[in-house]
Chain A
Amino acid sequence: MRLPSTWPRPAIVVASVAAALLLAFGWLTRPHTLSARDIPPHVPDPLNGERLFHAGGCASCHGAGLEGGLDLPTAFGTFRVPNISPDRGAGIGGWSDLDFINAMQSGVSPDGTHYYPAFPYGSYTRMTLPDVLDLKSYMDSFEPVSALVPGHDIAFPWSIRRGIGLWKLLYLDASFVVPVAAGQDALEQGRYLVESVGHCGECHTPRSQLGGLLRNQWLAGAPGLDGEGRVPNITPHADGLPGWSERDIVRYLKSGFTPDYDTVGGSMAQVQENLARLPDGDRAAIAAYLKSLPPLPDPPD
């Protein structure tokens, strides 16, 4: 292609650099998705899906009927939790298994746009594909809700969704955070529940200015995402849960009582009620994993 020869040289240089930057931005921020042949054959198990549904606390944000509508105020703007009921128009009733997997694990919608990481796919990306399909089969059993939820209200420049591709380059990482030695089945189960489907790190781990979780301060506590208070450090450090035994953690997750018989509060109250519905072995595994964490001090504010 020949540029018009009447253009002054500096303008040509500027235009070329701008075009190159735009191309680079476009290439770097393109959505990555799986294709149908990446999905293993699987007979979904809705009972396991129900367990994962409670482990993930889906209803706490999306509503008991998955109708959505909750406002999540953050430093980047207000996110509105979408309707994920099986309604074909307002919800996700028209989604294929592949659509669901790409949303949950790559943060990409069926039409190929990025989701904001307020939807914690940065954690769900660590789930196994069979588990994601089990979860979908359970969610398919809900009643469709036709109420539409309005879009997010996000400030510039975060309102440019394509930019989320850069965020993903920096922070979307399907590897587990804490190493677990082979053969430690309970720790592995606890890690899976905490780091993937339970997405505990999304609130209990501090974030960078760009909203990425700081893996080197894993579960060391963080300011509340809504700007109120602090989410506690849950590592075995003196700033965290030093005096809590595994039994204390199990009890807290089952009944909501701390070792001092204070009750769970804030947004953790709903999380605890969801986790109370899991089989005993899952709460024990979570407790074993938390006790095995590297002790970390509270991060500086």
Chain B
Amino acid sequence: MASFRKLTITGTLLFVTAGLAVAGDSPQEQRHELMEDTGGGAKTIGKMLEGENPFDAAAAMEALQTWAKVAGQFGDLFPEGSETGFDTEAKPNIWSDREGFDAALNAWAEAVDAAIAASPQDLEALGAAAGPVFKKCKACHEEYRVKDE
């Protein structure tokens, strides 16, 4: 019986662990997921700006809203203890220079808000609205991300 119980406990643990892994509940995975969403929005807008896809005001606004959703959640996903693991590309200075990181993230969120407020209705307006957002993407990736692949 003892060994059966052991098996059951192990099985339950495995089940719980597997459940966690599937849901991707770790801050590292949630961060990654949000950045994938952000990249999706960047692709939608980038392809319009480069003339690869025709301008579509509704699709552009949807992409901007995706960024706003990310901006609302991203900053809370860097708790102590999530510095490493899950192939995270977060740079240690996020934790040693938290103020700088929050400021950079905030600058990006503000650019996103301004872009939504501008509600771009043509390609030129979209370029003017999204340009500052892209600049902030890059600024944060320059300071607070480290590639390890």
A binding-site residues for B, Cβ under 8 Å: 224, 228-232, 251, 256-257, 260-267, 269-270
B39 touches A265 (CB 8 A): no
**Considering the chains assembled together, what is the distance between the CA atoms of A264 and B39 in angstroms?**
12
Knowing A263-B134, A266-B141, A269-B138, say if A229 contacts B148 (CB, 8 Å).
yes
Q: Which residue of B lies closest to A269 (CB)?
A: B142
From B42-50, B54-62, B110-118, the one touching the partner chain is B42-50
B138 touches A264 (CB 8 A): yes
CB<8 Å pairs between A and B, sample of 17: A224-B146, A228-B91, A229-B148, A230-B147, A230-B148, A251-B50, A256-B134, A260-B39, A260-B43, A261-B42, A261-B46, A263-B42, A263-B137, A264-B138, A265-B141, A265-B145, A266-B141
B binding-site residues for A, Cβ under 8 Å: 39-40, 42-43, 46, 50, 89, 91, 134, 137-139, 141-142, 145-149
Interface SS, B side: helix
Which residues of A lie under 8 Å from residue B148 when comparing CB positions? Answer: 229-230
Knowing A229-B146, A229-B147, say if A269 contacts B141 (CB, 8 Å).
yes
Interface SS, A side: loop
**Considering the chains assembled together, what is the distance between the CA atoms of A243 and B87 in angstroms?**
22
Which residues of B lie under 8 Å from residue A229 when comparing CB positions? Answer: 89, 146-148
B142 touches A257 (CB 8 A): no
B142 touches A270 (CB 8 A): yes
Which residues of B lie under 8 Å from residue A266 when comparing CB positions? Answer: 141-142, 145-147
B138 touches A232 (CB 8 A): no
Which residues of A lie under 8 Å from residue B46 when comparing CB positions? Answer: 257, 261
**Considering the chains assembled together, what is the distance between the CA atoms of A265 and B137 in angstroms?**
9
B141 touches A257 (CB 8 A): no
**A-B complex: 8 closest residue pairs judged by Cβ atoms:** A265-B141, A269-B142, A229-B146, A261-B42, A261-B43, A229-B148, A265-B145, A263-B138
Which residues of B lie under 8 Å from residue A257 when comparing CB positions? Answer: 42, 46
**Considering the chains assembled together, what is the distance between the CA atoms of A265 and B141 in angstroms?**
4
Knowing A228-B91, A266-B141, A269-B141, say if A261 contacts B39 (CB, 8 Å).
yes
A262 touches B39 (CB 8 A): yes
